[in-house]
Amino acid sequence: MLWRTQFFPKAPSEEGTPLHQASTYLLDNLKEPVVYPPNLNELFQLTCWIALTDATKENGCMVVVKGTNKQIAPLKISKPYDTQKSDDGSKRFGTAKIEVDLQVNSEDVMPIEMKAGQFFIFSERSLHGSLGNQTAEGRWAVNGRIVRPDTRLYTDKMLKEGHMYKVVGVKDICLDRWQTVPIRGEDRFGCNQRLKDVPAGESIEPVKV
Give the domain CATH number at 140.
2.60.120.620
How many Cα atoms within 13 Å fall on the side-chain side of residue 150? 7
Strands (DSSP E) contained in the chain are: 2-7, 35-36, 45-51, 62-65, 75-78, 92-93, 96-100, 109-112, 119-123, 128-130, 141-147, 152-153, 163-165, 170-173
Q: What is the mean pLDDT of residues 149-161?
A: 92
Phi, psi of 121 (to 5 degrees): -120, 135
Contact between 89 and 13 under an 8 Å Cβ cutoff? The reply is no
pLDDT at 166: 64
The structural domain count of the chain equals 1
Q: What are phi and psi of 175, to 5 degrees?
A: -110, 15
In a domain, 188, yes or no: no
pLDDT, residue 169, reads 66
Which of the two residues, 134 and 29, has the higher pLDDT score? Answer: 134
> Does 91 fall in a domain?
yes
State the pLDDT at residue 195.
87
Whether 24 shows a pLDDT value over 90: the answer reads no
% of the chain exceeding 90 in pLDDT: 52
pLDDT at 85: 47
pTM of the model: 0.81
What is the predicted pLDDT for the residue at 96? 58
Residue 31 lies in a domain: yes
72 compared with 16, residue with greater pLDDT: 16
Q: Which domain does 83 fall in, by range?
A: 2-173
74-113 pLDDT, tens digit per residue, is 777 665 544 444 344 444 445 456 677 788 899 999 999 9
In total, the chain counts a number of residues equal to: 209
Is pLDDT of 206 > 80?
no
Give a yes or no: residue 185 inside a domain. Answer: no
Instruction: Choose among 161, 133, 150: nearest CA to 8.
Output: 133
CA distances, 59 to each of 74, 112, 113 (Å): 30, 12, 10
In DSSP notation, 86-137 reads: -S--TTEETTEEEEE-S---GGGEEEE-B-TT-EEEEETTS-EEE----SSS
77 vs 15, which has greater pLDDT? Answer: 15
Residue 74 lies in a domain: yes
The reported pLDDT for the residue numbered 91 is 46
> Once rounded to an integer, what is the mean pLDDT over residues 61-75?
88
Tell me if 207 is assigned to some domain.
Answer: no
Task: Tell me the C-alpha distance between 36 and 191, whole Å.
Answer: 10
User: Model confidence over 122-132: pLDDT tens digits?
Assistant: 998 999 999 99
Least confident of 39-48, 71-80, 82-91, 186-195: 82-91
* Domain assignment present for 194: no
| CB-based burial, 191-200: b 16+ in 10 Å, e otherwise | bbbeeeeeee
Domain assignment present for 179? no
d(CA 53, CA 140): 6
